[in-house]
Structure 1
Amino acid sequence: MSSEVPNDPAILDHVEKFWLGRKPASPIYQFLLEDIKLTYASKGVVRARLPLTNNHVNAHGGIHGSVSATLIDWVGGLAIAAWDNRTKTGVSTDIHISYQSSAKDGDTIEIEGRAGKVGGSLAFTTATIWKVVDDKPGPIVATGSHTKFVRI
């Protein structure tokens, strides 16, 4: 991450406004992502942090798979918005997730989305969710890929 381009305040502002406009229309986002904070944006890249609560974990105490899926869906759309400051990010055509470790109530996670290609019809994104350790990304919790149909 240290070799990346600096945070772009204009893109971060666009992505924050985009998120604030979408959040009220989605009860699931309001429920699961109430406390998420965007921390970084550049062309096609977005990062955020989320403190996990009891609402985010499964019966075994680890982050619920549906939460990870929601985050990968969410950050993929924001990465597309950060690609070219667009306000329509399409609809999902597929999403794939690989779970590698876990995080629990009280942990903070960092989520990163990257738009690898945004074309006229499809956009391809990847996402990583890390458990934050000592205020830095630690063990990977999950990775994912997300394809969206963007010609809408």
Structure 2
Amino acid sequence: MDFEEVRKYVENEKSKSGLKSKSMPEDFLDLTTMQGLRIQKIERGRILCSIIVPQRLTGEKGELHAGAAAALVDLIGTTVVFTTGVPTGVSVEINISYTGTAYVGDEVEIECKILRLGKAIAVIGVELRNCNNGELIAIGRHTKYIQNIRSKI
């Protein structure tokens, strides 16, 4: 997989990327949630990126909304599978523990790693951390069905 294609997908350069999410209307959550994400590091099975929390992803008190954090776990968790060159399918499970918060204007670092890549399932770990104070915001585990086409040879 071309890491540049994955970067374009995450950083919202969809028209230049050949990657598409088949699980929702094109660009619906992607544009809302992923706008402003920037890649710090990308490698096979790992993405490190960050976002400055915008108003659109917050609740009434200006804190990162739990649903927005869940969407980031889902979208970045799906995207990290692209770095392996294996086509991804539906989510089987998403589990998130919320341990802190971030507010409008705070920088949030998102580290996403493939914990296990099997024949039919990928297990992904995602951590969201507030860069302003180092606080862990959320820990997610995302399990994806994959359409593994690796040869047995």
TM-score, L = length of structure 1: 0.81
- Checking the alignment, whether the CA contact within 8 Å between 1:50 and 1:108 is kept in structure 2 is yes
- Find the partner of 1:147 among 139, 143, 152: 143
Gaps of at least 5 residues in structure 1 are 1-9
SS in 2 for 1:78: helix
* 2:105 corresponding residue in structure 1: 106
> What does residue 73 of structure 2 align with?
72
Instruction: Map residues 113-128 of structure 1 onto 2, 5 A cutoff.
Output: 113-128=112-127
Distance, in Å, in 1 between the alignment partners of 2:30 and 2:48 is 16
Task: Note the C-alpha offset of 1:17.
Answer: 4.0
- Could you tell me whether the CA contact under 8 Å between 2:39 and 2:50 is conserved in 1? yes
1:6 corresponding residue in structure 2: none
Q: Is the 8 A contact 1:48 1:112 kept in 2?
A: yes
Q: How far does residue 12 in structure 1 lie from its aligned partner after superposition? A: 3.3
SS in 1 for 2:72: helix
2:51 alignment partner in structure 1:
50
Structure-2 separation of matches of 1:17 and 1:107 = 23
**Do the aligned partners of 1:11 and 1:43 also contact (CA within 8 Å) in 2?**
no
Q: Which protein is richer in helix relative to its size? A: 1
Decide which moves more: 121-130 or 29-38: 29-38
Q: Which amino acid aligns with 1:12?
A: F
Unaligned runs of 5+ in 2: 149-153
Q: Deviations over 1:18-44 (max 9, x none)?
A: 543337922111012111111211220
Give yes or no for contact 2:112–2:126 (8 Å, CA) kept in 1.
yes
8 A Cα contact 1:62 1:104, kept in partner: yes
Shift of 1:91: 1.1
Corresponding pairs, count: 138
Q: For 2:89 and 2:54, locate their aligned partners in 1 and report how far apart those are by CA, in whole Å.
A: 29
Contact 1:99 1:143 in 2 (8 A): yes
Equivalent position SS for 1:38: strand
Report if aligned partners of 1:130, 1:140 keep a CA contact under 8 Å in 2.
yes
Contact 1:32–1:67 (CA under 8 A) maintained in structure 2: yes
In angstroms, what is the RMSD of aligned CA positions? 2.1
